[in-house]
Structure 1
Amino acid sequence: MNEEKIPFETLEFAGITFKVINRHAAHDIIGNLTNFNNEKIYNVFEDTWRFPDYEENPIFLLAEDDVEMDSFEMDFSTEEHPDIFILGFIFKGNLSVKKLISSFDTDNSPALIVFGETTSVNITLFGSVHYLGGGVKCDALLGEYNHGELFVKGDVTAWLIYSDDMLMHFERFTDVQAIISINRPDVLICSNVTDEDGTVITIENYFPSTHKLSDIVDDSFIEISDYGTETLGNNYYEDAFKEGLSILNYDKTEKYMYTNFRDEFIKMVEVLSELEYVKQIGRISKNIAGTTYSFIPFDYEGKKYSQISEEIGNGFNIRMRALWCHDNEEIMLILEYLYEDGNPKYQWMNNETAPGIEMFCVKGAAIKAFEVLTAEPSEDDDDDEDETEYAEYDSSFSLEDFSAQFGRYALPEDLVKLYEFEQEYGAETYSECFGLTITDDKTGIKTWSEEEEFYNSFIEFAGANGSGSSYAYWLIDNDLNNCPIVVFGDEGGIHVVAENTRKLIHLLTLDTEISVDFDSAYFYKDEEYYSENDNIEAFQQWVKKEFNLDPIETNEETDEIVKQAKDKYKKRLNDFLIKFDIEIGEDDE
């Protein structure tokens, strides 16, 4: 691309005078920054939502010396210069902020790149790929939503590292008290291990949560989700972060330091040993969404042991075990990363008094496993005596229940086949963020128009991406095989995606979620950040067998399928939307 001109030499932001540079100059500074696999992090010319080239006056702001601020809330422009678009802030030296460092928005934000040390009370990042190259010191470091990613090199000193669906990569934890990922592990840490030849190699692993939020955060900032998970409430930003106050409760020392773990663990063993199920079967295990919680008494080399463990599957293959030896009254804690066959790849092992964040995650796992194993079973739980465990929970639904939302319309045969495949392998395991759904109240569609003619012209049947968009049939024919599929964007936009069910299934073989905005809908796989779904290979083979369609390998192939659908149905859909005073995007005009 042609080199962009800069609108002016300097610009003041948050009380600091920055040098204004274009993306070519930024490339010279950050283009060779790498992750922990020695892969380049930034391509400022990529023309994606991270570094778009469609905005007027795109710039980077550069600070060449150490910077001190009171508060740093990133934005794409300033009140004085609303016509600029800040792609990123680059600090060549140290960045010290008294109260808060914050991204702009979970969907999109300027990138934060710091070569020196980053210091603040609170740091919350999202919406772009951020890089802290000289370590970080803070009370709380938060990452939120999958539109963001963070790389931290150097020493990390933090009381709390918290991720809610955002990948966070760290070179080392110098002094970290608690790591909490909501749902799956999203925090990664480098470790030095020795291979079979004695060579020391650095590997990057997902790190499990060490605590619950209530172990270290003040209760006033905690909410409980519909699934019973502790999350940060919406009040933490205004009430604490913007004021430079901590969300942590330092009086909870006993919880976040696990000071009473020994007595608590022995008590947990005693309670689990007295469960009627354990007395009958000899052990107990529950599998919830790919994570297995177990209590197993056993004998080894003439000694009696009781083990409480948590094993995280779904490709993470992490096992945490706490063992009580009844004979010598010792407690052993073990963190293991496993091969696919379940054998240990490498492990950390020590007693319950040993320092280190690795032992904290095992203690937290033991407590969580105890809570799961002693919880009252739901009506859906069913004992399996051969496997000596409770049956795995799942959210599957019958074909009859799925069909009910289609009313008088018969399900296309291709959709029935897809339903059967998903029942075997699980939603969101074969194509990123896709899963069939039951949506029979049309609540979402009614937000566009409450006119009956409008909302009865669509049948939602699947989740389209991780932010809440959905797929629906547009009912222009009594036979759903002749009805195109549209996507309802969670933040705006209704777009034609596929001519029929089979075309949608073909799109899913790219294994990437659809991006939807007001103006367009498209599939974009970034190979640099792509993470393969567990069952994508089985899905692609199934699509080849059932429909003789080869897997899609490029973004351009998906563009062509979407274009074919738009060429056939876009004008007709636009005319229909305009009829109900629904605004259409520029790409659809």
Structure 2
Amino acid sequence: MSKIEKVPFETLEFSGIIFKVINRHAAHEIIGELTNFDNQKIYNVFEDTWRFPDYEENPIFLLAEDDVEMDLFEMDFSTEEHQDIFILGFIFKGNLHVKKLISSYDTDNSPALIVLGETSAINIHLFGSVHYLGGGLKCDTIVGEYNHGELFVKGDVVSRLIYSDDMPMHFERFTDIQAIINVNRPDVMICSNVSDADGNLLTFENYFPSTNNLSDIVDDSFIEYTKYGTEILGNDYLDAFKKGLSILDHDKKDKYMYADFRNQFINMIEELSKNEEFLSEGKIIRNIGNTLYQFLPFEYEGKKYSQISEEIGNGFNIRMRALWCHDDEEITLVLEYLYDDGNPKFQWANNETAPGIEMFCVKCTAVNAFEMLTAEVVEEDEEEDEREYQEYSNTFSLEEYSVQFGGYALPEDLVKLYEFDQKYGSDTYSECFGLLVWNDKTGIKTWSEKEEFYNSFIEFAGANGSGSSYAYWLIDKDLNNCPIVVFGDEGGIHVVAENTRKLIHLLTFDTEISVDFDKAYFYKDEEYYSESENKEEFQEWVKNEFNLNAIESDEEADEIVDEAKAKYKKQLNDFLTRFDIEIGEDDE
């Protein structure tokens, strides 16, 4: 445990509220025993990470012991009056009621919000730390953004919209929720109570799929579209949040409540049944990324059915099915969580008129799956489209992959890894890792546009889920003698491995690399770890090809990284400083 820190003063005013100033030891007495839904402790204020650093001067927590009401609550690390303090978190022992907006400071890092009572606001926008709302939540919209943040909410949750853009959000129970939207993969989690064969009540925490598209419920003026056609909240919504305005369009109620779903679903079944592919093949199947979409006919207990379904793989193992019975003209909606072998673990099933947020996600699936199944398969003929496709496709020839290496020969170990990657698929054997085709050096040029710099690296693989990349540092004409560095998406260039084989060994840990400005490291949080689909096959392959046992601990991974740092860190730092690139404290 760290030394006792003195507080610079007893109280401090923030957002018009007088808070008591406490140190991390006093904060530990209040929040140290708070747990998640697996009964694991959430906070360790002594951990000395970017969340609770001990290198900042005057680190403090601000404590409100009574109920608090305020107009606007935008968290910050300091105040204009006291810019020499560093606020680690805001702790509210009672209820917190904010009229307009509760918001974090920055997506990378923010003070933590901890409320032991009820929390209410028109809008809530959180990121950058682990936040805890222990007495329930009432709001119009809550937004979680970026994977540096996480939220736990215990008690009743009343919200029109829960929106997560790459931030895990954990809820104990949905009391009154109208829509849940995950931007990409499911990040919203809910505790569900199910009964086993003996009638015992069991509680599981499950990822919850989206119940709607953003345009089903949000005012169109706040929606933007990515280059892939997906919907995201636009920048203007922050201005509305700060004014205490709702971004939802209540005139769309019939749409987000699926008022006409029965007629819509019947029309989808009729159109799919007339589809040329269905008439020739007897089914329509699309496998896009880690998601399987299907339209299938079948018979069950003497009745004929048509089914539209979506199955989300890659460790989520969620299947949603909407079924039309041709004999009795009934619709059945099924939400299932599956074992790894594909068999149902538990499920919810009901007709299309049944209440409950569980059925909304199945209706959303039917609509989206129909669009996927009827979309025209477009050939990527144009050279520009082909280049863009290759950057994000998991499939490319060795010749296509080799282009980015110019005159350098691919190391034999990398060719072997390429063959494994193509057989099993990127992101399936080591968390968030995959070989990629880069046709330019746009990312590296953000560090320096000097030709000597960006031509000294060859990117060859994605390193983690937030956009970091692995690259060879070209200090030798033979890539077998070139170390591998990681370019952090949020800052930092660090040596990771002495060569390709060392990197392959690191990949057996099945944990994405964490990269910040000061260092890069591998850390496996067993609480949230989910084994990659082809981890065992990869580890067996590495053993057979290279006689290397799988890495089982952070310490083993550290040894490989430290060996590379000892050999190349000073040389890399000297190189970076030549181009005025700042290096982290850990690298000095």
Which bracket does the TM-score occupy, shorter chain normalised?
A: over 0.9
**SS of residue paired to 1:34:** coil
Separation (CA, whole Å) in 2 of partners of 1:428 and 1:175: 36
Q: How many Å separate the matches in 1 of 2:49 and 2:577?
A: 29
2-side partners of 1:526 and 1:23: how far apart?
Answer: 23
**Residue 380 of structure 1, CA deviation:** 7.9
Paired AA for residue 315 in structure 1: G
Question: 1:580 Cα deviation (Å)?
Answer: 2.8
Name the amino acid aligned to 1:159: R
How far the C-alpha of 1:94 sits from its partner, in A, is 0.6
Q: Note the alpha carbon deviations across 1:336-391, whole angstroms, 9 max, x for none.
A: 2222333322221221111111111111111111111111123389xxxxxxxxxx
Match of 1:434 in 2: 433
1:479-508 deviation per Cα after TM superposition (whole angstroms, max 9, x unaligned): 111111122222333222221111222222
Separation in 2, partners of 1:456, 1:228: 33
Residue of structure 2 equivalent to 1:365: 365
Task: Give distance in 2, aligned partners of 1:271 and 1:412.
Answer: 51
Following superposition of structure 1 onto structure 2, how do residues 84-233 of structure 1 map, counting pairs within 5 Å?
84-233=85-234
8 A contact 2:467–2:489 mirrored in 1: yes
1:305 to 1:574, Cα distance in 2 relative to 1, 3 A: closer
For 1:119 and 1:451, locate their aligned partners in 2 and report how far apart those are by CA, in whole Å.
Answer: 51
Unpaired segments of 5 or more residues in structure 1?
A: 382-392
Summarize the alignment of residues 367-516 of structure 1 with structure 2, pairs less than 5 Å apart: 367-379=367-379, 395-516=394-515
Superposition deviation, residue 14 in structure 1 = 1.0
Cα 1:78–1:298 change in 2 (3 A) is same
Give the structure 2 partner of residue 386 of structure 1.
none
Task: Tell me how large the CA RMSD over aligned residues is.
Answer: 1.8
Give 1:261-280 correspondences, 5 Å limit. Answer: 261-280=261-280
Q: Say which SS state the counterpart of residue 28 (structure 1) adopts.
A: helix
Check if 1:257 corresponds to 2:257.
yes
Cα offset, 1:573, TM superposition: 2.1
Aligned-pair distance for 1:460? 1.3
For the residue of structure 1 that corresponds to 2:138, the secondary structure is strand
Change (3 A) 1:208 1:135: same
Where do 4+ consecutive residues of structure 1 move more than 6 Å? Answer: none
Alignment partner, residue 328 of structure 1 = 328
Amino acid at match of 2:438: T
Deviates more, 1:351-360 or 1:45-54: 45-54
Aligned twin of 1:556: 555
- Supply the AA of the counterpart residue of 1:325: C
* SS of match in other structure, 2:221: helix
CA distance in 1, matches of 2:576, 2:300: 70
Answer whether contact 2:141 2:160 (CA < 8 A) is retained.
yes
Amino acid at match of 1:450: E
Q: Secondary structure at the match of 1:140?
A: strand
Q: Give the partner amino acid of 1:212.
A: N
Distance 1:528 1:334, change over 3 A: closer
2:544 aligned partner, one-letter code: K
- In the alignment, is the contact (CA less than 8 A) between 2:69 and 2:98 conserved in 1? yes
Q: Secondary structure at the match of 2:246?
A: coil
- Matches of 1:183 and 1:19 in 2, distance apart? 40
Query: Which residues of structure 2 form unaligned runs of 5+?
Result: 382-391
Q: 1:529 to 1:319 in 2, by over 3 A?
A: closer
Amino acid at match of 2:425: G
Q: Deviations over 1:315-344 (max 9, x none)?
A: 222221222222322222121222233332
- Equivalent residue pairs, number: 577
Structure-2 separation of matches of 1:209 and 1:434? 25
**Is the deviation greater in 74-83 or in 301-310?**
301-310
Give the whole-Å Cα distance in 2 for the aligned partners of 1:236 and 1:470: 31
- Residue 5 of structure 1 aligns with which residue? 6
Q: 1:531 to 1:147 in 2, by over 3 A?
A: farther
Spell out the pairing of 1:71-90 with structure 2 (5 A cutoff): 71-90=72-91
SS of the residue aligned with 1:173?
strand
Rounded Cα–Cα distance in structure 1 between residues aligned with 2:88 and 2:249? 36
Identical positions, percent: 78
Match of 1:42 in 2: 43
Given that residues 429 and 532 in structure 2 are in contact (C-alpha distance below 8 angstroms), is that contact kept between their aligned partners in structure 1? Answer: yes
> Contact conserved, 2:394 with 2:426, CA < 8 A, in 1?
no
- Asked whether the 8 Å contact 2:315–2:531 carries over to 1, the reply is no
The offset of 1:394, in angstroms, is 5.3
Q: Name the SS of the counterpart of 1:171 in structure 2.
A: strand
Amino acid at match of 1:440: N
Could you say if the C-alpha distance between residues 264 and 180 of structure 1 is closer, same or farther in structure 2, counting changes exceeding 3 Å?
A: same
Distance 1:78 1:542 in 2: 55
CA distance in 2: counterparts of 1:78 and 1:433, whole angstroms? 38
Q: Deviations over 1:106-150 (max 9, x none)?
A: 111111111111100111111111111111011111111111111
TM-score (norm 1): 0.94
Partner Cα distance (1:586, 1:128) in 2: 22
Match of 2:319 in 1: 319
Separation in structure 1 between the aligned mates of residue 86 and residue 282 of structure 2, nearest angstrom: 64
Answer with 464-473 or 575-584: which moved more.
Answer: 575-584
